[in-house]
Structure 1
Amino acid sequence: MGGSDGGAAAKTVVESKEWYLAAYAPENVPTSDHLKLRSVTISLEYDSVADQHVAVQLLLISVDPYLRSTITGRDGDLYLPRPPLNKAITGFGIGRVVRSKNKNFNEGDIVINPFSPVAEYSIIPADFLRKIDQTTDIALPNYLSCLGVPGFTAWVAIEVLGNPKPGSNVFISAAAGGVGMFAGQLAKLKGCRVVGSTGSNDKVQLIKDEFGYDEGFNYHEESDFDVALAKYFPDGIDLYLDNVGGKLLDDVLNHVNKGANIVISGMISQYNTIPAEREGVKNLLNMVGKDVKMQGFLCGSYLNQFGEFAQQMEKYINEEKIKPKHKINQGIESFFESFVSLFSSSNLGKVIVQVAT
């Protein structure tokens, strides 16, 4: 219990596997030279836990593209502070409290931590932890997808920044990914016509069959994005949610309608290149003639609206109006391959690693 040693419910000394940053990766897909796995010994004795800290066993960890931008070693790329070398990397995780020196948390509590070490066990300050209500029917992976960063990012993009009117033509890139799958569903709930681009024919089928997209295309099979966008948006684009950047963004600017919104939540096509080699955008002049608004954002800037988001999204989940899809890989050992897979077209849905049950 909080404020007590909790008896012998948990082991007192454990060997904990953790992923750490061995070297920064300025370009290309990171390798095992950059992210490495090691075992460390951690004492879970009550006296080993600092005041206002808790010891947590990691259950689930989200695998997110933003990690790529934090490990380049370049300050200009960072979404979050540069992680130090030789320390465990962090991500959005769910864990079980096994020791507590904080009155707000008891042993056995299931908690969400937006800065969870990618480690089987860790002793962490309780400042950013949030309890999960274990009496609900919401599955734990949902707290890392539709109720986590991807869902919140999609909600901010569609509900707050894009706010398309019914009948609007909405285009979403990386449509089968963690953000795209929820953004498309939220746009459909607002009465929009929604088209997505994905990296495989299976994903095109997925976004249409499971997420309700009206149309979709495989960007690997389209030799000319201009032609593809003209085909799928004969009446132009009113809202574009960009998760990709590069040439696709440039070509979208040729197909936007007057007063269109472009909301940028990521540019995964550019994450593995150094700034000097990134694709430029040549069609920005269209923003002037068509009075287009383009805005990038971090969901952390909208945390004051997280409560509203969670309430609305939980309602949609309970009414089965929002459908998540998860790719759950087993064991902390699978984290590296899970992360690298984000930069291919191999995953369907939100990628999560299950560390323990």
Structure 2
Amino acid sequence: MEEGAASNKMIVLKDYVKGFPKESDMLLKTSPIKLRVPDGCDGAILVKNLYLSCDPYMRTRMRKMEESYVDSFVPASPITGYGVCKVVDSTDTKFKNGELIWGMTGWEEYSLIKSTQGLFKIHHTDVPLSYYTGILGMPGTTAYFGFYEVCSPKKGDTVFISAASGAVGQLVGQFAKLFGCYVVGSAGTKEKVDLLKNKFGFDEAFNYKEEPDLNATLKRYFPDGIDIYFENVGGNMLDAVLLNMKLKGRIAVCGMISQYNLEEPEGVKNLFCLVTKRIRMEGFIVFDYYHLYPKYLEMVLPLIKQGKIAYVEDIAEGLESAPNALIGLFSGRNVGKQVVVVAHE
């Protein structure tokens, strides 16, 4: 191998996926890479990837989509997603060699990023770098802006969060508790339910897999109704929630993980509740709020350092473990934020 070059391991998508994804839908490949930005490629950076984020929305990118807020993956090319990286070489004056950043990168050891728009420099390194895939990155900002900007919370509100032990849900619940709300979460195992109540400080939590009648379950935990629902699941859960919303309740639609592996999405029967209860239901994409990122850091960094907010990561070691880690999201195998360690800084 020539001087200044390296062997670059990468995870590529074999082809578009139907149904539940499998590890075999992703392949580990190796190719050489020069450790500098190619000549004539101005405004680009070459990075060494340190941590990669596994997120549910990545499943939607595994199918051919005509129109979406994010592009489909390209078969036979490296998967892309959020990650923490170190700049190896730069032709962009905004980024210097050796700087740490987070943002969209490739599922590979080294990535050439041709557009640096949407990348954030990491200035605070007195917290774990992996946090920038989660609480200090996309999931954290999703939780913060989804709750505060979309849900318009008031002290004393009753709040329900589905998929509450995930990277976003665990933070929404804690933000809501700090704000003075009554908070209930749903999850898929006893371990996760215990985590919600004992570590994240939720008032109550339940295992949705053990509840044959979700409508009755929600009435048990919210006898007077739900003010705010933070939606991560969709399907039957959304249908049951609509029946239990209060007058002028708010629903922030962050994701619908129960639908991502279905070829034909499930219908929702109780939408007329939006009319009768004057419910505001709003979908949102975190990109729209990134200009407020400094405001978020100002709020959350002191909470982390003072131990006032808990955060749980599920760490997978090595790039080769990434396909298995990603697929685990859709069976609820992960506990907390799923992170893949590519290299230690």
Q: Does 1:70 align with 2:61?
A: yes
Q: Does 1:304 align with 2:281?
A: no
Q: Deviations over 1:207-226 (max 9, x none)?
A: 11111100000011111101
Amino acid at match of 2:51: L
Match of 2:330 in 1: 343
Please, which moves more after superposition, 253-262 or 283-292? 283-292
Q: Within 2, Cα distance between the matches of 1:350 and 1:166?
A: 28
Q: Within 2, Cα distance between the matches of 1:266 and 1:285?
A: 21
| 1:306 shift after superposition | 2.1
How do 1:160-239 residues align onto structure 2 when only pairs under 5 Å count? Answer: 160-239=149-228
Q: Deviations over 1:261-289 (max 9, x none)?
A: 01110000000011xx3221111111211
Amino acid at match of 1:17: K
Q: Deviations over 1:147-175 (max 9, x none)?
A: 11111111111111112211111000000
Aligned alpha-carbon RMSD (Å): 1.6
CA contact (8 A) 1:49 1:55 kept: no
Q: Does 1:108 align with 2:108?
A: no
CA contact (8 A) 1:49 1:123 kept: no
Q: Secondary structure at the match of 1:341?
A: helix
Q: How many residues are treated as equivalent by the alignment?
A: 341
Match of 2:138 in 1: 149
CA contact (8 A) 2:80 2:104 kept: yes
Match of 1:56 in 2: 47
Q: Secondary structure at the match of 1:137?
A: coil
Q: Within 2, Cα distance between the matches of 1:178 and 1:45?
A: 34
Amino acid at match of 1:324: Y
Match of 1:19 in 2: 11
Match of 2:33 in 1: 42
CA contact (8 A) 1:58 1:96 kept: yes
Match of 2:71 in 1: 81
Q: Deviations over 1:179-218 (max 9, x none)?
A: 1000000000110000000010000000111111000000
Q: Deviations over 1:213-259 (max 9, x none)?
A: 00000011111101111111111100000100000000111111111
| 1:313 shift after superposition | 1.6
With the length of structure 2 as denominator, give the TM-score of the two structures: 0.94
| 1:302 shift after superposition | 1.8
Q: Deviations over 1:6-30 (max 9, x none)?
A: xxxxx711111111122111x3221
Match of 1:319 in 2: 306
Q: Extract unaligned runs of 5+ from structure 2.
A: none
Compared CA separation, residues 264 and 46, structure 1 to 2 (3 A) = closer
Q: Within 2, Cα distance between the matches of 1:144 and 1:33?
A: 25
Q: Within 2, Cα distance between the matches of 1:298 and 1:94?
A: 21
Amino acid at match of 1:206: L
Compared CA separation, residues 344 and 15, structure 1 to 2 (3 A) = same
Q: Within 2, Cα distance between the matches of 1:123 and 1:351?
A: 24
Q: Within 2, Cα distance between the matches of 1:16 and 1:181?
A: 35
| 1:61 shift after superposition | 0.5
Q: Secondary structure at the match of 2:205?
A: strand
Q: Within 2, Cα distance between the matches of 1:152 and 1:259?
A: 25
| 1:83 shift after superposition | 2.5
